[in-house]
Amino acid sequence: MAKDVKTMKGDTKWFVHDRFGLFVHWGVYAMAGRHEWVKHHEKIPNEVYDAKYFSRFDPDLYDPNAWAQAASNAGMKYFVITTKHHEGFCLWDTKLTDYKAPNTPAQRDLLRPMVEAFRKRDMRVGFYHSLIDWHHPQYILDKYHGPYRDHADREKMNVGRDQKKYAAYLHGQVRELLTKFGKVDVLWLDYSYPKPDGSGKGRDDWQSDKLLKLVRTLQPNIVLNDRMDLPYGFDIKTPEQFQPREWVKVDGKPVVWEACQTFSGSWGYHRDEMTWRSVDELIRTLIDCVSKGGNLLLNVGPTGRGEFDDRAMARLAGMGEWMKRHGRAIYGCTQAPDEFKCPQDCRLTYNPEKKRLYVHVLAWPYKHLYLDGEAYTQRVAYAQLLNDGSEIKVGMDPWHGTQAGDTVKRTVTLTLPPQRPNVTVPVIELFLKG
Ligand code: GLC
């Protein structure tokens, strides 16, 4: 009997090990430099958008090897690139539309060399492909999204359009992406907005069941996200631009999840956006994800000339500095078992294979860190600072011990150096018995 596609699952083993990936949003909107939704926000008609941006898109500084190297140095293990975003522009040499990079002054397929550059550095490959399309001539213009959403002639403009034909185009493109680039590890389809009255767009508009089948047939191991408006068939949940407060659950059960976030609020290159987050905040976010059993997909929006700008580069480098010494507390790690109570001002991550527990110390305490409960008293065998592998004394000196009284009996007390290690977030590695 044929397998039920609804219950088929991709391979998430590598995914929950690797934990940290790069999202890249790159399209002709990079030239506007004010959000990938600029066409929608400013209601820019197709002709104007294309005359300004598509006809001038010339990323002469594009060096996919530099991108891949920056990501790899940051400690990222996979990447997800927008093969097409809502604007409809395609980065690769698709046979199904002229609206593609080879027809801009770039004059070439921009996707293929990118895939090769990341693979060369042992990074997994993911494609983000927009379900939404503000350019395709068969796509029904609705009242919610796109430059024509409240255009007086919208209904008239829909005459002769056939959403089924658009869905066929969408499926054809997904087929190209999943057959012409070798093994694809992640597919990120974005997104649905069905409304109770049948307006908006969802599974019927994308022919999602058929699409799911196509994806599972072409690349059975692919990790598929959750945005095509089907209550089944996905491998990962994708909380966007916020931190879940606990391990993400569906029907009460923990699932594989990945938070996706930006440095500054925009996914596409945004020149004037000033709310960039610091390296410190970004590292805390990564730690927070892993401490709740999740991944972080962190976004860069390259410029119209094809570079990661200096703000992005500085943050990637800063994260890389930390990851170089603390990657062990991220890769292969997950939420700690419940019996290990998280100490004050800390986060815990845990490597079940190596039986090591990582205490990420967000605020450095004076002298002592208390690990409460039997799980600690019975299982902690050795402790060290992760950044330099220097021993951390387990226990209190007797003089302080007598002053502390009874509380220390149920506690493993770590005696910390008075000077906080000079790293963004210090981590203590605990070797566990048993
Ligand atoms: C949203 C936005 C979008 C971005 C994406 C990333 O759905 O439409 O611009 O690509 O989320 O998660």
Residue 192 lies in a domain: yes
* Domain end (from 329, 359, 381): 329
At 334 the pLDDT is 98
Residue 215 lies in a domain: yes
Closest-lying ligand 1 atom to the alpha carbon of residue 240: 12
Establish whether residue 133 lines the binding site of ligand 1, counting it when its CB lies within 6 angstroms of any ligand atom.
no
The total domain count for the chain is: 2
Read off the CATH number of the domain in which 366 is found.
Answer: 2.60.40.1180
At 407 the pLDDT is 66
Atom 5, ligand 1: which residue's CA is nearest?
Answer: 190
Read off the CATH number of the domain in which 86 is found.
Answer: 3.20.20.80
User: Cα–Cα distance between 372 and 359 in angstroms, integer?
Assistant: 13
For residue 256, the CA-to-ligand 1 centroid distance in Å is 19
For residue 260, the CA-to-ligand 1 centroid distance in Å is 9
At 222 the pLDDT is 98
For residue 128, the CA-to-ligand 1 centroid distance in Å is 10
Same domain for 295 and 385:
no
What is the value of pTM for the model shown? 0.97
Atom 10, ligand 1: which residue's CA is nearest?
Answer: 267
Residue pair 194/200 in contact (Cβ under 8 Å)? The answer is: yes
Same domain for 85 and 174:
yes
Establish whether residue 20 lines the binding site of ligand 1, counting it when its CB lies within 6 angstroms of any ligand atom.
no
Same domain for 352 and 321:
no
pLDDT tier at 403, thresholds 50, 70, 90: confident
Atom 3, ligand 1: which residue's CA is nearest?
Answer: 267
At 434 the pLDDT is 81
Range name among 54-58, 112-116, 329-333, 406-410 with the lowest pLDDT average: 406-410
At 400 the pLDDT is 72
Establish whether residue 226 lines the binding site of ligand 1, counting it when its CB lies within 6 angstroms of any ligand atom.
no
Residue 1 in this model has a pLDDT that exceeds 70: no
Same domain for 110 and 171:
yes
At 406 the pLDDT is 65
For residue 153, the CA-to-ligand 1 centroid distance in Å is 27
Establish whether residue 190 lines the binding site of ligand 1, counting it when its CB lies within 6 angstroms of any ligand atom.
yes
Residue 2 lies in a domain: no
Residue 222 lies in a domain: yes
Residue 374 in this model has a pLDDT that exceeds 80: yes
Same domain for 350 and 313:
no
Same domain for 151 and 52:
yes
pLDDT tier at 381, thresholds 50, 70, 90: very high
pLDDT tier at 261, thresholds 50, 70, 90: very high
Mean pLDDT of 110-138: 98
Same domain for 297 and 243:
yes
* Domain end (from 304, 329, 354): 329
Residue 339 lies in a domain: no
At 163 the pLDDT is 98
Same domain for 308 and 419:
no
At 408 the pLDDT is 64
Establish whether residue 267 lines the binding site of ligand 1, counting it when its CB lies within 6 angstroms of any ligand atom.
yes
Residue 275 lies in a domain: yes
Mutate to test the pocket of ligand 1, among 87, 260, 261, 267 (most ligand atoms within 8 A of CB): 267
Same domain for 284 and 395:
no
Between the two ends of the chain, the Cα-to-Cα distance in Å is 44
Same domain for 389 and 293:
no
Establish whether residue 240 lines the binding site of ligand 1, counting it when its CB lies within 6 angstroms of any ligand atom.
yes
Average pLDDT of the chain is: 96
Closest-lying ligand 1 atom to the alpha carbon of residue 268: 9
pLDDT, tens only, 59-96: 999 999 999 999 999 999 999 999 999 999 999 999 99
At 223 the pLDDT is 98
pLDDT tier at 401, thresholds 50, 70, 90: confident
Q: What is the domain extent for residue 311?
A: 13-329
High-pLDDT (> 90) share of the chain, %: 95
The amino acid occupying position 396 is M
pLDDT, tens only, 204-239: 999 999 999 999 999 999 999 999 999 999 999 999
Same domain for 305 and 236:
yes
Residue 38 in this model has a pLDDT that exceeds 70: yes
Mean pLDDT of 194-199: 93
Residue 96 lies in a domain: yes
* Domain end (from 329, 356, 381): 329
At 2 the pLDDT is 60
Establish whether residue 36 lines the binding site of ligand 1, counting it when its CB lies within 6 angstroms of any ligand atom.
yes
Three-state SS letters, the chain: CCCCHHHCCCCCHHHHHHCEEEEECCCCHHHHCECCCHHHHCCCCHHHHHHHCHHHCCCCCCCHHHHHHHHHHHCCCEEEEEEECCCCCECCCCCCCCCEHHHCCCCCCCHHHHHHHHHHCCCEEEEEEECCCCCCCCCCCCCCCCCCCCCCCHHHHHCCCCHHHHHHHHHHHHHHHHHCCCCCCEEEEECCEECCCCCEECHHHHCHHHHHHHHHHHCCCCEECCCCCCCCCCCCECCECCCCCCCCEECCEECCEEEEEECCCCCCCECCCCCCCCHHHHHHHHHHHHHCCEEEEEEECCCCCCCCCHHHHHHHHHHHHHHHHHHHHCCCCECCCCCCCCCCCEEEEEECCCCEEEEEECCCCCCEEEEECHHHHHHEEEEEECCCCCECEECCCHHHHHHHHHHHHHEEEEECCCCCCCCCCCEEEEEECC
Mean pLDDT of 1-18: 91
pLDDT tier at 402, thresholds 50, 70, 90: confident
* CB neighbourhood size of 25 (10 A): 22
Residue 321 lies in a domain: yes
Same domain for 306 and 247:
yes
pLDDT, tens only, 141-157: 999 999 999 999 999 99
